[in-house]
Amino acid sequence: QVQLVESGGGVVQPGRSLRLSCAASGFTFSSNGMHWVRQAPGKGLEWLSVIWYDGSNKYYADSVKGRFTISRDNSKNTLYLQMDSLRAEDTAVYYCARWGNSKKLDYWGQGTLVTVSS
Amino acid sequence: DIVMTQTPLSSPVTLGQPASISCRSSQSLVHSDGNTYLSWLQQRPGQPPRLLIYKISDRFSGVPDRFSGSGAGTDFTLKISRVEAEDVGVYYCIQTTQFPHTFGQGTKLEIK
């Protein structure tokens, strides 16, 4: 069965960096694009970024463009989100999601919490 | 960016009764390929989101048939034919026709 497991969250000071990982299993990782979505405490869902199955294309939300970088290592079945210049408003649970056919985000991980605080 | 607006934001429902959530987009979600990429997600308390419906009305694997989606263009609806206790949570629409993808604000479904 499809499994996505995020890791790398924690408490970080404003202005610092953090890298999140999403380990995938149960499907051919190199065949699917992948997304990152976040959810601030008590708030709704915010789409952040997508990467094509082969890493050839990437898109970002304006809120993270220039600060966050999505990448993947298909040999390790792992998706990444490099987060630089973190701000208090980046505090959220970060989810990875698989990009299935018909452009659907069909499987989601359990999420990893990032807290940006001094 | 496409703005997604859900109504209502909160919906108290009696068990066994139907429920309906509306989602409106600020522009047409019809893709150049002719499909409309509008999905519905359910988020139970303390859980990650779960896909229910995609491409307006296609039910995802394992989703009970009491959930149905309809609509076209800019107006979409999620219906639950008979609400069960396990349906409590927040429901989101999301458009994946265009980048950036955008979510509705969420509709909280609760039992009266």
DSSP B35-80: -B-EEEEEE-TTS--EEEEETTTEEPTT--TTEEEEEETTEEEEEE
Both tokens of A15, joined, read 């202005």
B66 touches A: beta carbon within 8 Å? no
Decide: A15 and A116 in contact? Cβ < 8 Å. Answer: no
Q: Which pLDDT score, from 0 to 100, does residue A82 have?
A: 98
- A26-49: string of b/e by CB count within 10 Å (b at 16+)? ebebeebbbbbbbbeeeeebbbbb
Residue in A66, A100, A104 with CA at minimum distance from that of residue A85: A66
Q: Which pLDDT score, from 0 to 100, does residue A97 have?
A: 98
* pLDDT 10s digits, A21-36: 999 999 999 999 999 9
Q: Which pLDDT score, from 0 to 100, does residue B10 have?
A: 96
SS3 A2: coil
Q: Do A105 and B51 touch (CB under 8 A)?
A: yes
CA atoms of B35 and B28, how far apart (whole Å): 11
B57 touches A: beta carbon within 8 Å? no
Q: Which pLDDT score, from 0 to 100, does residue B50 have?
A: 98
Give the rounded percent of residues in chain A with a pLDDT score beyond 90. 100
Average pLDDT over residues A67-77: 98
Q: What is the pLDDT along chain B (112 residues), one digit of tens a residue?
A: 999 999 999 999 999 999 999 999 999 999 999 999 999 999 999 999 999 999 999 999 999 999 999 999 999 999 999 999 999 999 999 999 999 999 999 999 999 9
Least Cα separation, residue A13 to chain B (angstroms): 26
